[in-house]
Amino acid sequence: DVKVTQSSRYLVKRTGEKVFLECVQDMDHENMFWYRQDPGLGLRLIYFSYDVKMKEKGDIPEGYSVSREKKERFSLILESASTNQTSMYLCASSFIYEQYFGPGTRLTVT
């Protein structure tokens, strides 16, 4: 079974803080993704990575950065958290097409 884990289920941060969200997959997948999910807006892609140290912007990259130093780990960084980044963050990985998701991190920025 594919296993994608995320470092926290719930996170509360203050405006202006630097926030790190970690994602680890155990299936040796090439591709990893970060999405945010908001009511009425669905799933929106923030960034994805198709190889170690490679990254590409998704639909809404502003205010975020990513890091992929090892194949199994993909980090999402909020450089200076803002209240409009309060959301559910979902990590996914894939070998080719089928994406497998982690449990999600509910981030609240106050």
Partner 1 sequence: EDQVTQSPEALRLQEGESSSLNCSYTVSGLRGLFWYRQDPGKGPEFLFTLYSAGEEKEKERLKATLTKKESFLHITAPKPEDSATYLCAAHNNAGNMLTFGGGTRLMVKP
Among 50, 70, 79, 83, binds partner 1 (CB under 8 A): 50
Nearest to 47 by CA among 37, 38, 58: 58
CB of 107 to partner 1, least distance (A): 13
Nearest to 22 by CA among 84, 105, 86, 85: 105
* Rounded Cα–Cα distance for residues 99 and 28 (Å): 13
Among 4, 19, 66, 81, binds partner 1 (CB under 8 A): 4
Site size for partner 1, by CB under 8 A? 22
- Please list every residue from 66 through 105 that binds partner 1, using CB under 8 A: 88, 90, 92, 94, 97-104
Considering the complex, state which of residue 26 and residue 98 has its C-beta at the smaller distance from partner 1.
98
